[in-house]
Amino acid sequence: MEIVKVEALTKKFDQLTAVNQLSFSVLSGDVYGFLGQNGAGKSTTIRMLLTLITPTDGDIQIFGLSLSKHRKEILQQIGAVIEKPDVYKYLSAYENLKLFAKLSGIQPTRSTLMEQLEIVGLAHRANDTVKTFSQGMKQRLGIAIALVHNPQLIILDEPTNGLDPQGIADIRNLILNLSSQYQKTVIVSSHLLSEIEQIATRILIIDKGKKLVEGSSDELFDQSRTIIELNTNDNKAAYEIIGNSSWSNNLQPIRNGQIILQLNKQDIPGFNQYLVSKDIAVFSLQPRHSLEDYFLQITAGKQHVEAFRN
């Protein structure tokens, strides 16, 4: 079942087209990873989903209803945290949650609110003032507030920004728990590719406001092909030799001065033998197949950096 269906969504700010004919769908139960570099249009898209800004063109349907015609009904079933949550630092976690529940027009019991804090791992700090919380704890409290009216859809915009490794892990585990244990559909916007790779069931990658690809990790790239980082005794010479050989089509854009290739695993020994035959000493051929490699590959285009040619 499609929870969110976006068709030809466009947003222009004067001469800037922030989102350009974007179409995608989020299915029930998805942890939907929304990936893109800074300025790619992720936050603009999310703000349109939440009716914080109005689209220039296109259509948004959520829960099978038109967002423009059924705004109030739809938003009652959505919880969201946009970047850092706005909470009252001199109130306790429980008092914050109770206040936001009242603002949402509901009056849950104390046990219900404590259950919400338990979900996000803050029940033991329920009576502590928020000013004593770490940023990660504030973020989890923001998610508890987003859950207070028991929404079907959760939207999190860059939920791990500014967090330490433990805070990132806590948010990751919370998202997975919301999906698996509480059957929530979650949209997660992020530029932290490794995190999205660990939690997302489906992924959308956008660049400059346009969709590049959408699908599961298995659908997005051929698992039989591997990204290889090559290190030799003379990378400049190796790059020239590869570029003038039958292996040239395997070259990828150079990253941080490293030669990158995409190869079928069975071709790696033959490639290594070819370099050795050209008097290139191979120090390492390191596989690096991941969502990050795929993302860099499709957003970098086909132009190789001329780092070894100058």
pLDDT in tens, the chain (310 residues): 899 999 999 999 999 999 999 999 999 999 999 988 888 899 999 999 999 999 999 999 999 999 999 999 999 999 999 878 889 999 999 999 999 999 888 999 999 999 999 999 999 999 999 999 999 999 999 999 999 999 999 999 999 988 888 999 999 999 999 999 999 999 999 887 778 888 999 999 998 999 988 988 667 766 556 778 888 898 889 999 999 999 998 888 777 677 888 888 788 889 999 999 999 999 888 776 556 666 666 666 534 434 444 4
Cβ within 8 Å of residue 75, ≥6 positions away: 50, 51
pLDDT of amino acid 303? 41
Answer yes or no: are the C-beta atoms of 130 and 96 closer than 8 Å. yes
pTM of the model: 0.78
Report the half-sphere exposure of 86 (CA within 13 A, side-chain side): 3
Measuring CA to CA, which residue among 288, 282, 302 is closest to residue 237? 282
pLDDT of amino acid 223? 55
pLDDT of amino acid 222? 60
What dihedral do alpha carbons 128, 134, 140, 146 form, nearest 10°? 80
**Residue for token digits 């120090």?**
283
Cβ within 8 Å of residue 63, ≥6 positions away: 3, 74, 77, 152, 153
pLDDT of amino acid 296? 66
pLDDT of amino acid 139? 94
pLDDT of amino acid 307? 41
Helical residues (DSSP H) of 21-132, grouped into ranges: 42-49, 71-75, 93-103, 110-119
pLDDT of amino acid 12? 96
